[in-house]
Structures are given as structure tokens and as C-alpha cells.
Amino acid sequence: MPHHQTALRLVAPVAVLALTLTACGGGDDTADAKSTGTAQAKASPSPEPTSGGEMGAGESATGKVAEDPGEVTYEVLAQKVDVGTEAEAAKAVSEPDKVKGKVLAVAYLKYTHKSGPALTEGSDVHDSTTVFADGQRGSVLIGASEDAAGCEDPYDVESWKQGESHVFCETYVIPANAKSVEVHWAEEDGEPYIWKFPNG
């Protein structure tokens, strides 16, 4: 009965996964018996996540980005989100019907070059920035941010040395009735850092 065995084999990993989750979630005694490294980690008060997590207001994240001349470490801070009106959203797009009940959210992020080679043409640091509303990802509106006051175009940055900062913006379309807006930024393949802003 080969079919029967296949079915069992498919089920097995799920069962293992469920057991693993249960073991991690509970306060099981086995963790204390492991190496001293584990015990030390448990004793320290809630360590900061190595990558990603919710950020407090004014708290900046640090992450690496593979830029053209080499890997650069940036400090990233979501400064604010400007949420517009439905009328402004309708004006900004070629098909106003598509943004009924929606508004534009412009996220302002300050990026500081902390270490790594100086950039000579443009930057990709903003590529992994997204805007969410009430936990749902918004729709990006390309090209809209360049007109916003205080926003720079990342492709216009001709020279960017260590210690210098630039503010880049991302414009997203979100539901008008969203209660909160989140700005996400992540390293490549990393967990996102999340800044939450109330809407209105």
C-alpha cells in the first residue's frame, strides 16, 4: 500500500512542527539543562531583536544595505507620516475612481550613513520601505513623493559620505478610515523594523 505510506510521510513534519512549537512556548525544564549560553540568554531581560521589531517614537534602526560600491550600514528613522484627504488622492492619480475611499500616506524616513564606502551615484536604501495601514500593506504610488516638501530623490544623491543624512519619502495609497499607519523598513531578507503612527 504505497499510497498510505506517502500520506503518513506528509503528515509527519506537521506533527513534529506542532511538538516543537509547544516545547518552545511552554516554560519547559529542558531549556535549563542545555548549554550555559542558553541559560545566560534566558536570564538577560528581553534582549533586543537582532533584526526587526516594533520601534518606539524617535527610535532608529540600524541595518546593512548592499550598495553599488559595497555594503553600507545605515541608521534608519521613520520621522512622520503625512496622511492626505480623499480629494488629494483623486487629484494625484490618473483614474480617480480607483482611489475612492482611499487617501495618500507619505512616509518620511531619515537615513544616516554610519559606515562603509561613500556612495557616488544614487542609493537603494529606500527600496525596502513599505507603508501598512491597520496591518494591511498599502499600494505604492510611484513618483508622487518627489514633490513633497522636505523629501529628496534617492537617485539624485551624487555623493553620500559617512556621517551624512538624507530624507527620502514613500507615498502609499491606504484606506481613509485606517486607525493606524505603520512604516516598515528591513534589511534584505531581514525582519522589518516597524514604526506605528496614529491616523488623524
Domain boundaries of the chain, sorted by first residue: 2-43, 60-198
The sign of the torsion formed by the CA atoms of 137, 141, 146, 148 equals: negative
Partners of residue 77 on adjacent β-strands: 110
pLDDT tens digit string along 126-183? 999 999 999 999 999 887 766 678 999 888 888 999 999 999 999 999 999 999 999 9
CATH match for 60-198 among 2.60.40.1240, 3.30.1490.20, 4.10.520.10, 3.30.70.120? 2.60.40.1240
How many Å from the N-terminal Cα to the C-terminal Cα in the chain? 63
Please tell me the distance from the alpha carbon of residue 166 to that of residue 123, in angstroms, as a whole number. 10
Please tell me the distance from the alpha carbon of residue 189 to that of residue 45, in angstroms, as a whole number. 27
pLDDT-derived band at 118 (thresholds 50, 70, 90) equals very high
pLDDT tens digit string along 80-90? 999 999 999 99
Has this prediction a pTM greater than 0.75?
Answer: no
Residue recorded with cell 501598512: 132
pLDDT at 5: 52
